[in-house]
Amino acid sequence: MAGGYMGKILKVNLSEGSIKELPIDEEIARKYLGGKGYAVRLLYDYLTEYERLGIAPEDIDPLGEENVLIFATGPATGVIGFPEPGRYHVMTLRSPLTGGIGSANSGGRFGPYMKFAGYDMIIVEGKSEEPVYLEVIDGSAEIKCAKDLWGKNTFDTTRILTKRAGGNCSVACIGPAGENLVHIACIINEEHRAAGRTGVGAVMGSKKLKAIVVKGSERPEIAKPDEFKAASKEMLDKIKQNPVTGEGLPKYGTAVLVNVINNAGALPYKNWQEAYNEKADEISGETLEAKYLRKRVACWGCSIGCGRATEVKTGPFKVLNTEGPEYESIWALGNDTAVINLEAVIKANHFCDELGIDTISMGSTIACAMELYEKGYIKDEDLQGLDLSFGSDAAMVEAVWRTAYKTGIGKYLALGSKRLAEIFGAPELSMSVKGLEMPAYDPRGIKGIGLNYATANRGGCHVTGYTVSPEIVGLPEKIDPLTYEGKAAWVKAFQDFTCVVNSAVNCLFTTFALGAEDYAVLLSHITGWDLNADEIMKIGERIYNLERVILNKYGFDGKDDTLPKRLLTEPLKEGPAKGQVVELDRMKEEYYQLRGWENGVPTKEKLKELDIP
């Protein structure tokens, strides 16, 4: 087996109660790396097998026995010296939120610890009758009863299972939201790290899988340790010298972006009715640092340390000894809902972590509900005493636990903004793409990210192709956010390269400082393969295209590669991007051409070129 891998996949079938080991297939690994890429390939194989059995892709129930849940690491995960190697990727055959592929990514230490327990991946098939958890310790796995854990929040679950395993382990679990099949439920590890998006927590809940505990002392081997050590030093120096990874992120965390994006006129406000908020500094990373920071925290093996340990010491939103919120969470729970109250946002973020809900989709869905309420689609009698006007800080916080427990208006919020807006009769008010709520960058002020949202395989997602880096941050070079020229190429490059990062699996923030060549060097030394930048990018493109092939099977195509009408037709009324909309078609045609796609579908030639079956 190539270096960086443990060489083994754990396959658990909860319907049968069976546990198997599979070898990592080196041929697949060479073509899809690991992590997300390898998982996409496995999902494709599941889909093919289902089709052979007569089960059409669109008939797969995201919350049914037939869905598959994969926890994946890659060759970089858990390798000391690989820049920021503390992450893992989660994939599901279908997402309950979008109907597309489920895909989410988290930090902390679960990824590395899963490898140390002996496995590169864990595949969960089927569905248990009774609540269970999976304990994987030093190459030995067991399905255990979790009846006593069902109903418990993520904090309690983590502490109880950590104690039971004798400490020094990692626990990835769902909270009440996942158990209750909330479509925006996430998976939480280390109490505050979330595999957040596309409702992967609900898939775990539908399988009655409360948690996975991983612990072990194995370590991945490095094919060329001396070469790797030298390269590692060089890369970590680049990380340290980079203004974002060496200074901005460590000092202010991801929330450093609040003022930056607002100053670009691209911080969505009031469910994207505007994108500039003159009070944004009140909820900025600088304010978080000044008023609420306890200390900085880092994922396993990370040299950046963007995590924030925080607390609110007094008042109605008092919460002690918590973590976060990240930039996206501040935006969604705060700016998008017009709750310009960092204390309320910290509290709501705490509830999201405790109960297991994705902060982006949660905040964005609440913002959507607020607009539905202010415009008269949601009535007072639907709210049972709750005032969901924009800016209602306490109502925003309350909406979080209501969602987890599907109580009152929470039962609709639990479906995500797309279905919420449909149910209340104004589908155009859901600020989502392919059913996934978009994050904190208004493409009317940052055109490239708009093309990325429209074409991202998992839906409205920033970390599929983060063109904010060149368009706003100026890395690897500064480009104008308001122009359309050249954006298609940037989007494609970022999308493909991000597939590499999520398949390596390490932290996307490294890409502020490192490029494909750097990755090629590092991954070559670890695996022992001879990879160059072109090949690395080809791997990324292959992954992206195979994922798209799966999406096509579910019925997604060019018509779904679009943006909410508001972004295409309502010019911004204030701020630096005043007057702007997104002229999506100007970029999309060029993008399809670069991709070798027709109407959102890869051509046969492209698939052949990429050696996709």
Q: Cβ(373)–Cβ(389) under 8 Å? A: yes
Minimum separation from the CB atom of position 72 to a second copy (A): 30
- Report d(CA 173, CA 165) in Å as an integer: 14
Would you say 36 or 152 has its CB closer to a second copy? 152
Minimum separation from the CB atom of position 153 to a second copy (A): 5
Q: Cβ(568)–Cβ(586) under 8 Å? A: no
Residues 6+ apart with CB under 8 A from 54: none
Minimum separation from the CB atom of position 176 to a second copy (A): 7
Would you say 139 or 391 has its CB closer to a second copy? 391
* Burial category of 147 from C-beta neighbours within 10 Å (exposed 0-12, middle 13-18, buried 19 and up): exposed
Minimum separation from the CB atom of position 499 to a second copy (A): 37
3-state SS assignment for residue 411: helix
Using CB under 8 A as the criterion, which residues of the chain lie in contact with a second copy when the complex forms?
Answer: 151-153, 155-156, 176, 180, 311, 315-322, 350, 354-355, 380, 383-387, 392-395, 401, 405-408, 411
Would you say 294 or 375 has its CB closer to a second copy? 294
Would you say 161 or 508 has its CB closer to a second copy? 161
* CA 464 and chain centroid, separation: 9
- Report d(CA 435, CA 432) in Å as an integer: 5
Q: Cβ(554)–Cβ(454) under 8 Å? A: no
Would you say 336 or 354 has its CB closer to a second copy? 354
Q: How many CB atoms lie within 10 A of CB 559?
A: 9
Would you say 14 or 181 has its CB closer to a second copy? 181
Minimum separation from the CB atom of position 157 to a second copy (A): 11
Minimum separation from the CB atom of position 355 to a second copy (A): 8
Would you say 137 or 366 has its CB closer to a second copy? 366
Would you say 394 or 568 has its CB closer to a second copy? 394
**Where is 365: in which H helix or E strand?**
helix 359-374
Minimum separation from the CB atom of position 436 to a second copy (A): 26
Minimum separation from the CB atom of position 394 to a second copy (A): 4
Pairing verdict, β 132-137 and 170-173:
unpaired
Q: Strands (DSSP E) along 43-97, which ranges?
A: 69-72, 88-92
Pairing verdict, β 121-125 and 132-137:
unpaired
**Residue of 204, 385, 445 lying closest to 195 (CA atoms):** 204
* Cα torsion angle, 165, 168, 173, 175, sign: positive
**Residue of 508, 499, 539, 531 lying closest to 2 (CA atoms):** 531
Helices H / strands E in the chain, number of each:
25, 19
Would you say 258 or 378 has its CB closer to a second copy? 378
Would you say 25 or 382 has its CB closer to a second copy? 382
Would you say 293 or 383 has its CB closer to a second copy? 383
- Report d(CA 353, CA 355) in Å as an integer: 6
Pairing verdict, β 132-137 and 209-215:
parallel
Minimum separation from the CB atom of position 412 to a second copy (A): 11
Q: Cβ(113)–Cβ(214) under 8 Å? A: yes
Minimum separation from the CB atom of position 396 to a second copy (A): 11
Minimum separation from the CB atom of position 181 to a second copy (A): 11
Pairing verdict, β 18-23 and 8-13:
antiparallel
DSSP per position, 534-545: HHHHHHHHHHHH
3-state SS assignment for residue 149: coil
